[in-house]
Structure 1
């Protein structure tokens, strides 16, 4: 049952990541596209940690919170750069309350250059699991 759960969650993660990729691939990034990038990032990050949690649970680890899940996933070898994952988690909470243009541009830059590559690496790891 647990194995099925993480695999189902992983399918949703892949879909969300593909939407994020589509938004990031847009040539002209206006305010609406930028808002979409931020929304897709938030959704993808949520699915990322929950997929990691489900897989860790299947492997016998008991994790509950996103921070705990990221730390255990780093120790397990599922992810690298745990500090960036934790930063993404913290920034996601701030992004949910970002309404000014400068903060949105900064968020887009972080997503594009720091967090999206982490999410691709996780996808690659999980595809080989």
Structure 2
């Protein structure tokens, strides 16, 4: 299974946990699924762009290149999402976790945009 197929499976799982009542366990599960989906998203972009001859080595760089290529729209939420992802990896603070959990819902359309853009341009 390639990365985009894994991404197609991860995104509905993230949406699923966000529809559950907010508990500490569900919040932690949502953040973990967010991390996994985020990694698959930017790496799917990287794979697609590499096939187009564009090299990007970081999520921020890949999002910028995807915008230039027309795969995604310019949106300040991309950079907030990167910041939130970095916070989930490097710190654990209950208040930060609550904030990130609430932000994840804002990122679903971005994740969907990546998927549809890669599928649209990849065919």
> Structure 1 length normalisation: TM-score?
0.85
Structure 1 runs of 4+ aligned residues shifted over 3 Å read: none
Equivalent residue pairs, number: 120
Offset of residue 98 of structure 1: 2.3
Residue 81 (structure 1) aligned to one of 74, 80, 98: 74
Q: Which stretch shifts more, 31-40 or 117-126? A: 117-126
Alignment of 1:19-98 (within 5 A): 19-26=13-20, 28-96=21-89, 97-98=91-92
Q: Which structure is higher in RCO with an 8 Å CA cutoff and minimum separation 6?
A: 2
**2:106 counterpart of 1:121:** no
The gaps in structure 2 that reach 5 residues or longer are none
Q: Distance in 2 between matches of 1:121 and 1:65?
A: 19
Answer whether contact 1:71 1:82 (CA < 8 A) is retained: no
Aligned Cα root-mean-square deviation (Å): 1.6
Q: Does 1:99 align with 2:97?
A: no
- Give the unaligned 5+ runs of structure 1: 1-6
